[in-house]
Amino acid sequence: MLIAANWKMFKTQAETLAFCNHFRAPDGVDVVIAPPYASLQVALSSGLTIYAQNVHWEDEGPFTGEISPPMLTELGVAGAIVGHSERRQYFGETDETAARRAAHALDAGLSVIACVGELEAEREQGETESVLRRQLARFAAHERLVIAYEPVWAIGTGKTATPELAQEAHAFVKSLIDVPVLYGGSVKPENAAELLSQPDVDGALVGGASLDVDSFTEICREAIRS
């Protein structure tokens, strides 16, 4: 069971250090922390498994604001998130660019959590499976690839897919690509047990609830119980 914390644009270096000093990963669960770029080095000093929140498809070049696989591996970063819905919504990420990022990162020896998921309007129109099929078409199974199913309507909204909806989507994703699948979308200590107990849910990509060390620790404990 993998529980990944996506801190987005939260936590300074001092706040990152305080969290890492306090957090103790429970035995029996794999934990990943993905802090902002500026806090990667501080987080790495904790000995935890650290991912970046994005990675480019080239090793170097005129790509202002981007970061490459060699830069991350030199730091000691173990992997990266790609294709998060906020990257798609605010920064023009597409299915193609997300897949290119993932492929290059995997080739460079990094692990990857690749995010997919439908908008609320797409779910209401019965398009969830066609959206997931389109998003996953460019990814190939890899031993270091994990997919995160994050229904966009449940990210940062407080809404959460029911365990049954999550299971249905995860089973469909696994019918298309044979890799572990995490659930992402307002995962909290209160709903983690039900979500993580579903047979095709292999962990969680946690946003807001991962910013509080006690909350994140409790989600990790629920993963062990599930």
Q: Where are the domains of the chain?
A: 2-225
Q: Residue 214, Cβ neighbours under 10 Å: how many? A: 9
Indicate the pLDDT class of residue 156, thresholds 50, 70 and 90.
Answer: low
Q: Which amino acid is at 141?
A: A
Report how far residue 179's alpha carbon sits from residue 202's, in angstroms, rounded to the nearest whole number: 10
Query: Cα-Cα-Cα-Cα dihedral of 27, 32, 37, 41, to 10°?
Result: 30
Q: Is 149 helix (H, G, I), strand (E, B) or coil?
A: strand
Is the Cβ–Cβ distance between 21 and 215 less than 8 Å? no
Give residue 152's pLDDT: 84
Q: Is 194 helix (H, G, I), strand (E, B) or coil?
A: helix
Lowest mean pLDDT among 39-48, 77-86, 118-127: 118-127
Q: Exposed, middle or buried by CB within 10 Å (0-12, 13-18, 19+), for 18?
A: middle
Give residue 124's pLDDT: 85
Report how far residue 177's alpha carbon sits from residue 146's, in angstroms, rounded to the nearest whole number: 10
Give residue 157's pLDDT: 67
Phi, psi of 6 (to 5 degrees): -105, 105
Task: For residue 150, indicate whether it is catalytic.
Answer: yes
Q: Residue 152, Cβ neighbours under 10 Å: how many? A: 22
pTM to 2 decimal places: 0.95
- Which residue intervals of 27-162 are DSSP H helices? 40-44, 69-75, 85-91, 95-107, 120-124, 128-136
Report how far residue 97's alpha carbon sits from residue 95's, in angstroms, rounded to the nearest whole number: 6
Given the residues 84, 118, 170, 218, the one annotated as active site: 84
In what helix (H) or strand (E) does residue 32 lie, and over which residues does it extend? Answer: strand 30-34
Give residue 171's pLDDT: 98
pLDDT score of 7 more than 90: yes
Task: For residue 93, indicate whether it is catalytic.
Answer: no
**Residue at token pair 């080095």:** 41
Given the residues 86, 93, 118, 150, the one annotated as active site: 150
Give residue 160's pLDDT: 72
The CATH fold assigned to 2-225 is TIM Barrel (3.20.20)
Q: What is the mean pLDDT of residues 29-45?
A: 97
As a whole-number percent, the residues of the chain with pLDDT over 70 amount to: 98
Is the Cβ–Cβ distance between 38 and 85 less than 8 Å? no
Q: Is 144 helix (H, G, I), strand (E, B) or coil?
A: coil
Q: Is 204 helix (H, G, I), strand (E, B) or coil?
A: strand
